[in-house]
Amino acid sequence: MGLTSNAAVLAGAGALGAGNGQGELAAHVAETMAGLTRSFDRAYFLDCWRAHRFEDELWLKMGELGLHGVGVPEAQGGMGGGLTEMVLIMDLLSQAGLPSFLYALTCFSRTPIVRHGTPQQIERYLRPTLSGQQKICFAITEPDAGTNTFRIATRAERRHGGWRINGQKVFISAADHADLMMVIARTRPYTPGENRKDGISVFVIDAKHPGVELKPLNIELYSPEKQFQVFLSDVDVDDGALIGPEGQGLETLFDALNPERLLISAICVGLGDYALGKTIDYVNRRAPFGKPIGSYQGVQHGLARAKAHIDAARLMAYHAAHVFDGGGRAGAAANTAKLLASEAGVEAVDACIQYHGGYGFDADYDVITLWPMVRLCRTAPLNNEMVLNYIGEHVLQLPKSY
């Protein structure tokens, strides 16, 4: 692990936990994670990436330790806690250089099931994730609609007491390793002039259904999890696959999208701290002019500024998670956290590259290898322009600009 910012994280999570009576769980999670990340490190993650294989051992160990059940109410078979504790796990995984996409994907995809699922759906889709037995990926983005989710063309049509889904998705992370796929589809086509929100529905499908075809994309994040184009051809599902109300799935959807923004924020601040930790080790040793470069203010200021921005973004992320867990409207805080965390992560990794000099570009130093993932977070899951649009419109009450 890089910097000793666990104390700051715990203080943040503890303070937030105290509000929802979950401070003890957050402390337990942090202790369990400290043990886990002593056994699994960045070298393990990169070995999985090199071998093109999923991080099975890490995932199974998390299951043994009960970590997959954290964030789900005990009444539904989980360990209790909420988004706050899942963000904590994601943060601590990332601080150790293990930013598992499928952990984030499974957590935010199942949150709408926790909140809107029927008892049968809880049993069928949620419970198998609690031991880690099943993983969920998330499919909203489409080639033509891009950022404009309202324009998605994937259709779910009524068929024989269930639904038949046809369409195409793109950039779907870890679709090959997932057992289930949360698919956002239209049960009524988009019609200009009508309310664009009408017709959006949320489904869970079997990711191994014969009608699901995956085509890998050539995206390099130095992560074991890859991205895919997904073709959905006559994917028949029963009525139980529809989560929340038909055609009015926007609220259901946002119970995945706000957690997504915060789990991605956790990757940014955690990985940012990992990068700073590496850099501190390096600048304390590297001395081309006789004194370690870490003793120069020019270097210290860059690292100190990045650290300040990371910790501020982290607090915002835990605050937003706390709002979400309390049942409040988390959109403003979640978007703000995502903006700050993605900028802070980029700043930290950029400083890491800069102060490693030429070695920053040698993949064997695992510095340049951090760049694609943090830089991605300014673009995905929602680009920062759209995040700023949200703040402009919903926080500052300015007119919608697009």
Q: Which residues bind ligand FAD (CB under 6 A)?
A: 138-141, 146-147, 171-173, 219, 221, 227, 376, 379-383, 385-386, 389, 402
Q: 86 vs 315, which CB is nearer to ligand FAD?
A: 86
Q: How far is the CB of 165 from ligand FAD (least distance, A)?
A: 15
Rounded to whole angstroms, the Cα distance separating 362 from 369 reads 9
Q: How far is the CB of 163 from ligand FAD (least distance, A)?
A: 19
Nearer to ligand FAD, 36 or 113 (CB): 113
Residues 6+ apart with CB under 8 A from 361: 353, 367, 368
> 143 vs 357, which CB is nearer to ligand FAD?
143
CA distance 52 to 223: 9
3-state secondary structure 132-171: CCCCEEEECCCCCCCCCHHHCCCEEEEECCEEEEEEEEEE
| Cβ closest to ligand FAD, residue 6 vs residue 389 | 389
Minimum distance from CB of 222 to ligand FAD (Å)? 11
- The nearer residue to ligand FAD, 18 or 386, going by C-beta atoms, is 386
Smallest separation (angstroms) from ligand FAD to the CB of 381: 4
Nearer to ligand FAD, 142 or 311 (CB): 142
Nearest alpha-carbon partner for 69 in 23, 25, 115, 100: 25
Least gap, CB of 386 to ligand FAD (angstroms):
6
The amino acid present at 222, given as its one-letter code, is Y
Of 229, 217, 225, give the one whose Cα is nearest residue 143.
Answer: 229
- Name which of 49 and 138 has its Cβ closer to ligand FAD: 138
How far the first Cα of the chain sits from its last, in Å, is 43
Could you give the CA distance from residue 367 to residue 351 in angstroms, rounded to a whole number?
A: 10
Cα-trace Rg, the chain? 21
Asked if 175 and 228 touch (Cβ cutoff 8 Å), the reply is: yes
**How many angstroms separate the CA atoms of 23 and 17, rounded?**
4
Minimum gap (Å) between residue 66 Cβ and ligand FAD: 26
Minimum Å gap between C-beta 223 and ligand FAD is 9
Q: Which is nearer to ligand FAD, 186 or 356 (by Cβ)?
A: 186
Q: Which residue's CB atom is positioned nearest to ligand FAD? A: 146
Cβ proximity to ligand FAD, 8 vs 217, nearer residue: 217
Q: Which residue has the tokens 């639904």?
A: 163
Q: Considering only the C-alpha atoms of the chain, give the largest distance between any 2 of them, rounded to a whole number of Å.
A: 77
Smaller CB separation from ligand FAD, 192 or 290: 192
Q: How far is the CB of 193 from ligand FAD (least distance, A)?
A: 20
Residue 144: CB minimum distance to ligand FAD, A: 9
Residue 208's Cβ-count burial label (10 Å; 0-12, 13-18, 19+) is exposed
Residue 239 C-beta: closest distance to ligand FAD, Å: 24
Q: How many CB atoms lie within 10 A of CB 216?
A: 11
Peptide bond between residue 381 and the one before it cis (omega within 30 degrees of 0): yes
